[in-house]
Chain A
Amino acid sequence: MAARKPSAKPNVSPEELKQYYHDMLLIRRFEEKAGQLYGMGLIGGFCHLYIGQEAVVVGLEAAASEGDKRITSYRDHGHMLACGMDPNGVMAELTGREGGYSKGKGGSMHMFSREKHFYGGHGIVGAQVPLGAGLAFADAYLGNDRVTFAYFGDGAANQGQVYETFNMASIWKLPVIFVIENNQYAMGTAQKRSTSTEEIYTRGAPYGIPGELVDGMDVLAVKEAGEKAVAHCRAGKGPYILEVKTYRYRGHSMSDPAKYRTREEVQKMRDERDPIQSVRDLLLQGKHATEDDLKAIDKNIKDIVNASAEFSKESPEPALEELWTDIYADEVPQGDAVEA
C-alpha cells in the first residue's frame, strides 16, 4: 500500500469528515479502554480488538441507510459502535453485567441490537455469512429495499459455507453485501500461507457476483465503494463483494503475542497508513478543522469512553434468575428444573 496521502474526495462535506474522525476515534479509544479493562481482569474470556480496522465499518456505515442490517464475527465492538449502539451497553456486556446488551449473557463475541439492526456478534468463523444472506432473504421476501452487510475476515473466506452462500445469494439475487475484512492474518496465519489467491474478491466471479478491492485504511474509499455496492443491491441486482484490505494493530485476541509478524511491520502500517491520522491530516490541511476543534472531539470521546468504563464497572452482575431466562421465547420447563 502507498504511503499516507490524504485522499481528496470532493463529495464529502467537512461535517461528514469530522463525523468519520469522531466515529473512528471512538472505536479506537473504546478498544484501548477494553484492552485496559481486560488487563485488569474486568473483562474475561476472548476479547478481539478492532484497532487499525476502524475505517472499514465507519466508511460502510456512511453508505448505509436506516433499516439496513449488519452482521459480523466475534471482532464486533467496532461494528456496534459504528451503527450507533450505546457504548455503555457494549462495555457492560464486555464486563458481563446486567446493563450489557445481552444482560451479560453474551459477552464480547455475542451481542445484538434489534433496534439498530445489528444481528451479532457470532463466535463461529464463517457462520455469520449464511445468516447474513438469510437476513437479506427475509428482506427480499418481505419486499422491502433493505440491504444487509455481512462482514467476515480473510480467514473465514476459506470456509465452505461462504461459497454455499455465494451460490444461493447469486441464484436468488439476495440484497447482501459480502464485506471481506482482509486484515491479512487468519489468527496467526498470513493470507499467503492459507489462501489460494491474493485477490479474495475474485472468488465471487464463478458465482456471478461482482467484487472489488477496496483500500480499507481510507475511510472515504470505503464509503465510496460501499455506496456503489449498496446501489447495486438496492437495484435488485443481487449480491456484491467488497474485499476491504485493512490491518489489525493488536493481536488476534488479547492472549495473542503476535509472533507471526514483525514489530516493524505493524509500526510501518501505523506510521504510514493509519486511517484516523489520515482523516485528521485531511481536516487540518483542508482547514476544515483547527487543532482545538479536534482536541474538543478527542476530549468528548475520552469522556464517552470513560463513562462507559464506569458504567460497566458499576452495573451489577446479572441476577441469578437470569441463568434461566431467554432460553425459550415461551414458558418451557427445563430438563433439570422439572419436579414430577
Chain B
Amino acid sequence: MATEILMPALSPTMEEGTLAKWLVKEGDTVSSGDILAEIETDKATMEFEAVDEGIVGKLLIAEGTEGVKVNTPIAVLVEEGEDASSIETSSGGDTAPAPAAEEAPAAPVEAAPASAPATPKAKAVEPDWPEGTEMKTQTVREALRDAMAEEMRNDPNVFVMGEEVAEYQGAYKVTQGLLDEFGSKRVIDTPITEHGFAGIGVGAAFGGLKPIVEFMTFNFAMQAIDQIINSAAKTLYMSGGQMGAPMVFRGPNGAAARVGAQHSQDYAAWYAMVPGLKVAMPYSAADAKGLLKSAIRDPNPVIFLENEILYGRSFEVPVMDDFTVPFGKAKIWREGTDVTIVSFGIGMTYALEAADKLAEDGISAEVIDLRTLRPIDYGTVIESVKKTNRCVTVEEGWPVGSIGNHLSAYIMQNAFDWLDAPVINCTGKDVPMPYAANLEKHALITTAEVIDAVRQVTYR
C-alpha cells in the first residue's frame, strides 16, 4: 500500500518551508532512518528522515521549491511491485493542493506565510520616512539582523553575545551572517548561563562597551532579571549619574506555538514598569529595524521584545542609509472615527484584522501601535480617544497589571469627559499557557474578542 510522505513541521512556528534537496530518487529503496531530503525552515536547514520502509514511488515536489506548506504530500512510498503512476495523491491538510513536480515554479517565489495578514498600508500621521522613499519587502528577522549589522559597522564597541548567536547563526536565525562579517570577537557564543552572561554584559557596558545581549527567549531572561533590573536599570540613578548601562537586551517574547507555559509568556508589562529601562516591542519589520537601531544607540538599557511568530512575516521597509524610529512615538496604522484600538507587538495582528472586519460592518476603528512601552506615547492615544470617545486595548500578556490596565487609568484621568464607554482591555487569559492546541488558542487573545469588545464600547 502506498504511503504519502508529508512536508514536516520542523519547528514550533513553521508553517511552510523550502524543499532544498532530494537525497533519494524515484525507484530507490529506503528504510527507516534514511535521509530523504534537506528541508529549509525559517530557522535552519534540516535533514528529513524516512520513518517507513519502501520504495520511492514518486517525488511530488521538485528540489528548490519554496513555500511548501506543512502537511503537503511531497513524495509517495510504494511497496515492491506497486505502480507509482497509478497513485492519486490527496491534498495536504487544509492547504491548497501542492503543485506537482513538473508544475513547480522554476524561479523561487517569495511567499508570505499563509496565516499572515496582508501587509496593511500604514497611514502614519507623521510618516517615519520621506514620501517617495524606495521600499523593499523584508521579514522582521532580516530587518533585525540588518539593524544590528549596520550599527556594528558604525560603532566598533557594539557587540552581540548570547546562546547560539555565532556559529549556529542564531537559534532563530536573527544573527545570521553576523559572525562571518564581524568575527568571533564581536559575535560571541555564550554558555547557557543567562544570569552570568547578562551580568557580564552589564559589566561590559559599565566598562564602556555597547553590548547587545540576546536571550534565546525572554522566558530565560527570568534567570537574569536581577542583573537587568538591579544592575542595569538602577545603576545610573544609584551612582548619581556617573555610570549606567548603555545596552540592549533582546530576543523573542510572548507565545510562540505549542511550547507550553514555561516558554510562552509576554513580559511587556513587567519591564515597562521599571524606571531606568526603555522598552520597545515592534510589530512591523520597518519598526523592528528602526527601533533596534535606536535602541543600540540609546545611552540607557533597552529591553527589546521581539516575537517568534512575527520573525517570518514580511513588511515594507524603507531603503535608506540610516533609518531609525524614535522611542516614545506611536504609529497610527489606520485612521478611524468610531473607536480607538491600541496595541503593540503581535497584538497588532488582531487589532488590524478586527479593524478590517469591523469596517465591513461600517464601524471605523483607529488602530494605534504604541511601538515602545517605555516611554509610552500617551499623547497620541489621548488625542485619538478625544476623537473617537471609545477605546479598546489589545495585548497578549496577562490581564492583571497589564499595559491595558495602565492605559485605561491614564485615559480615565486625562480624558474622562471624552469617554462614551468604559475602556475594555483585551488580554491573554489569566492562566499559564496550556499545551493542547484548542486550549492554547483559547488562552490567547483572538480577533473575535477584539471585535466583540469594540461592539461593546460602540453599543453596536
Distance to closest chain B CB from A260 (angstroms): 27
Q: A141-B209, A330-B299, A332-B375 are in contact. Are A325 and B202 (CB under 8 A)?
A: no
Asked if B206 is at the interface of the complex by the 8 Å CB criterion, the answer is yes
Q: A112-B242, A112-B243, A161-B195 are in contact. Are A105 and B237 (CB under 8 A)?
A: yes
CA distance A328 to B242 in the complex (A): 11
Partner of B203, one of A111, A138, A327: A138
0/1 interface trace, chain A 96-138, chain B, CB 8 Å (1 if under): 0000111111100011111000011111100101111111111
CA distance A137 to B211 in the complex (A): 11
B242 contact set on A, CB distance < 8 A: 101-102, 112-114
CA distance A17 to B406 in the complex (A): 61
- Which of A113, A327, A334 has the most B CB atoms < 10 Å from its CB? A327
Question: Which stretch in A8-16, A51-59, A162-170, A297-305 binds the other chain?
Answer: A162-170
Distance to closest chain A CB from B86 (angstroms): 60
CA distance A135 to B202 in the complex (A): 8
CA distance A124 to B230 in the complex (A): 8
B191 touches A167 (CB 8 A): yes
0/1 interface trace, chain A 130-157, chain B, CB 8 Å (1 if under): 1111111111011000000000000000
A332 touches B328 (CB 8 A): yes
Q: A102-B242, A327-B276 are in contact. Are A131 and B231 (CB under 8 A)?
A: yes
A329 touches B236 (CB 8 A): yes
A328 touches B226 (CB 8 A): no
Asked if B124 is at the interface of the complex by the 8 Å CB criterion, the answer is no
Partner of A138, one of B196, B207, B298, B375: B207
Partner of B226, one of A127, A326, A330: A127
Partner of B230, one of A71, A105, A123, A325: A123
Asked if B238 is at the interface of the complex by the 8 Å CB criterion, the answer is yes
Asked if A206 is at the interface of the complex by the 8 Å CB criterion, the answer is no
B206 contact set on A, CB distance < 8 A: 119, 131, 134-135, 138
0/1 interface trace, chain A 161-197, chain B, CB 8 Å (1 if under): 1001101100100000000000000000000000000
Asked if A1 is at the interface of the complex by the 8 Å CB criterion, the answer is no
Q: A164-B193, A167-B196 are in contact. Are A330 and B298 (CB under 8 A)?
A: yes
CA distance A102 to B243 in the complex (A): 10
CA distance A168 to B190 in the complex (A): 8
Q: A105-B237, A340-B414 are in contact. Are A127 and B204 (CB under 8 A)?
A: no
A101 contact set on B, CB distance < 8 A: 239-240, 242
B375 touches A333 (CB 8 A): yes
Asked if A41 is at the interface of the complex by the 8 Å CB criterion, the answer is no
Partner of A130, one of B195, B235, B300, B414: B195
Distance to closest chain B CB from A111 (angstroms): 8
B276 contact set on A, CB distance < 8 A: 327-328
B275 touches A139 (CB 8 A): no
**A interface residue count range (under 10 / 10 to 19 / 20 to 34 / 35 or more):** 35 or more
CA distance A69 to B207 in the complex (A): 9
A135 touches B237 (CB 8 A): no
CA distance A326 to B246 in the complex (A): 13
Partner of A326, one of B199, B231, B236: B236
Which residue on chain B has the smallest CB distance to residue A326?
B241
Asked if A338 is at the interface of the complex by the 8 Å CB criterion, the answer is yes
A112 contact set on B, CB distance < 8 A: 235, 238-240, 242-243
0/1 interface trace, chain A 315-331, chain B, CB 8 Å (1 if under): 00000000001111110
A103 touches B240 (CB 8 A): yes
Partner of B238, one of A106, A127, A129, A160: A106
A105 touches B238 (CB 8 A): yes
B203 touches A338 (CB 8 A): no
B327 contact set on A, CB distance < 8 A: 332
Distance to closest chain A CB from B323 (angstroms): 20
CA distance A198 to B65 in the complex (A): 64
B239 touches A110 (CB 8 A): yes
0/1 interface trace, chain B 21-49, chain A, CB 8 Å (1 if under): 00000000000000000000000000000
Given A110-B238, A120-B239, A134-B200, list of 17 further CB < 8 A pairs? A101-B239, A103-B241, A112-B243, A114-B242, A114-B243, A129-B199, A130-B203, A131-B231, A132-B203, A164-B193, A167-B191, A168-B197, A329-B246, A333-B328, A340-B378, A340-B414, A340-B415
Some 21 contacts from A to B, beta carbons below 8 A apart, are A106-B239, A110-B239, A120-B239, A121-B238, A122-B230, A123-B230, A130-B199, A130-B200, A130-B203, A136-B203, A137-B200, A137-B203, A138-B207, A160-B195, A164-B195, A326-B240, A328-B236, A332-B327, A334-B275, A338-B376, A340-B382
Lowest 6 A-B CB distances belong to which pairs? Answer: A134-B203, A130-B199, A164-B196, A138-B207, A329-B299, A102-B240
